[in-house]
A and B are shown apart, each in its own frame.
Chain A
Amino acid sequence: MSILASAALVLAVGAGLVALLYGASLLVAVDRSPLVVEPFLSGHAPTEHAVSRFHARWYTVSLLFLTFDMEMAFMYPWAVVVADVGVKAIVEMFGFLAILSVGVLYAWREGTLRWS
């Protein structure tokens, strides 16, 4: 079978399964629309909206992002050549990752990943 035909087959099977699920749900659903209720506060009425805004520690989160971004930048070319270079490349990359993980551990201990 040509690639186009097999791709079309996979798409058709996927779409068919999804349609089957939706159809089954339409047939046996208790109600068409989902239930809209207040939040569960042990039987009390809510006194304010609980759209709680979390305090994202932007400075430290950016540092973490940069760490992994730079790591990605090095790993992309490495992934292409590692099979040819062999064990030496693997050992070097894991050394690099170990140094980075020390930094991540430090950030973790400093409370970067806490959000309350």
Chain B
Amino acid sequence: MARGDVAVVLTQSLRRFATSRPHILLLETSGGLVPRLEVERFARLHAWPLVDGPADADLLVVAGAAGEFDPYIDRVWNQLPGPRARVVLAPDDDPVRGLQHARLQLERPEGGQGERRAPGRPAASHAGHDMGAMGGMEMAVAEDPHAGHDMGAMGGMDMPAGLGMADRADDRDGLKLDVLTVPWGPALPWWPAGLVVTTVLQGDVVAEARAERLGDPAGQAGAWREIGSRIGTSRGGAACLLDSLTRLLALAGWRSAHLGAQRVRDDLLGGSDPQRSSQRLHRLADRVAGSRLLAAMTSAIPSTAGGDVRSRYLAWLDAATTAVDQDRSPAWSGDPAAAVEELPGLLVGREFASARLAVASLDPELSGAFTAVAARA
């Protein structure tokens, strides 16, 4: 049929154009440090964007073993719109080949849609999967906002997707706001591997927080130490600090400095000329330290050891430049368990974006790359 052929030709050429640079949702799990670094480098060199959430993503790339992260990854996979493809990169897989293969999967007409689980709890199954969303919208429009407290008493009505409305409670200003449980991690991009922070949000503000670790916390520390033994502890340590900096800059939204920091980190990891790496690092440090906008954003957010996020990233840059210039391991130490302990205290009362920056500022401690033992070694 002629019309069908036109549709197919249009669709195929559009599809080839659209999947030439697929958007990557990069999730790190235990043992995923090296694959993640490789994927970030590949994405930077080929200009494949790394996105913040499943709605914008074409490829779901899991760096590291799936293991106990499987249910979380499956749920995120379910939320990716088609066409989509999924790659799990174990530490000894070839990331470049995995990514190219996934991109070819995207190009095919069947486009890797795969099975989708219907949203909503199994308990509300008789409502059907499209009733879930429709019912939710109708409820929101029809109900009187002040009847929120009475929702539970209306026993006959079926809750959309089996979920109740959010309850209200006093917040820090004495207003009555909705209480929302929002878990952060483990399947979150730009997030430390295996960390799960369950926060209770009221409005924009974190009212409570609880932090725990999934997977193998010692694994990432081991991976950094292995990198350090391969390329030298000075460059390895500096690369670790720069890795934390790239994450912070990505969250802060300063894309060009984020790419610059990635470039210097990949330089150090790839073993390029030490003189040039040192020059580039100094230029990056001047640029980031001199930014008044970043300073204004981060100087009011408290971070570990009584400092704030600004003092943290300045300390990272300082330690990294000293390490590369003097060719010795960075003078840094920290305990991952203690960092996870103090995390809730740092988050309560912070606004959402500030809280995420605060978590990002705890980074080298959270990964355990510079435990007291390693720093002395």
Name A's B-contacting residues (CB within 8 A). Answer: 27-28, 30-31, 35-38, 40-55, 115-116
A49 CA to B179 CA, complexed, in Å:
10
In the bound complex, do residue A48 and residue B165 qualify as a contact, i.e. CB atoms below 8 Å apart?
A: yes
Known pairs A36-B133, A41-B182; A30 contacts B82 (CB<8 A): yes
Distance (Å) between the CB of A29 and the closest chain B CB?
Answer: 9
Closest to A55 in B: B175
Binding stretch for chain A, among B71-79, B293-301, B369-377: B71-79
A47 CA to B159 CA, complexed, in Å:
12
- Report B-chain residues with C-beta under 8 Å of the C-beta of A50: 166, 178, 180
In the bound complex, do residue A38 and residue B119 qualify as a contact, i.e. CB atoms below 8 Å apart?
A: yes
- Report A-chain residues with C-beta under 8 Å of the C-beta of B168: 53
In the bound complex, do residue B140 and residue A46 qualify as a contact, i.e. CB atoms below 8 Å apart?
A: no
Known pairs A35-B81, A48-B163, A51-B166; A28 contacts B75 (CB<8 A): no
Nearest first, the 4 A-B pairs at minimum CB distance are A43-B72, A116-B203, A43-B187, A42-B188
- Report A-chain residues with C-beta under 8 Å of the C-beta of B121: 45
A27 CA to B6 CA, complexed, in Å:
9
Distance (Å) between the CB of A32 and the closest chain B CB?
Answer: 12
Closest to A38 in B: B119
Name B's A-contacting residues (CB within 8 A). Answer: 6-7, 10-11, 14, 53-55, 69, 71-76, 78-79, 81-83, 111, 119-121, 129-130, 132-133, 136, 140, 145, 148, 160-161, 163-168, 175-188, 191, 202-205, 351
- Report B-chain residues with C-beta under 8 Å of the C-beta of A45: 75, 121
In the bound complex, do residue B54 and residue A40 qualify as a contact, i.e. CB atoms below 8 Å apart?
A: yes
- Report A-chain residues with C-beta under 8 Å of the C-beta of B191: 42
Main secondary structure on B side of the interface with A: mixed
A29 CA to B16 CA, complexed, in Å:
14
Known pairs A46-B163, A47-B181; A52 contacts B186 (CB<8 A): no
In the bound complex, do residue A43 and residue B76 qualify as a contact, i.e. CB atoms below 8 Å apart?
A: yes
Distance (Å) between the CB of B351 and the closest chain A CB?
Answer: 8
Q: Can you identify 15 A-B contacts, CB atoms within 8 angstroms?
A: A30-B82, A31-B82, A38-B78, A38-B161, A40-B55, A42-B186, A48-B165, A48-B180, A49-B136, A52-B166, A52-B180, A53-B145, A53-B148, A115-B203, A116-B351
In the bound complex, do residue A43 and residue B71 qualify as a contact, i.e. CB atoms below 8 Å apart?
A: yes
A53 CA to B144 CA, complexed, in Å:
11
Q: A43-B187, A48-B164, A116-B202 are in contact. List 12 more A-B contacts (CB 8 A).
A: A28-B7, A36-B130, A36-B132, A37-B119, A42-B188, A44-B75, A48-B179, A49-B160, A51-B178, A55-B203, A115-B203, A116-B177
Known pairs A48-B167, A55-B176, A55-B177; A28 contacts B11 (CB<8 A): yes
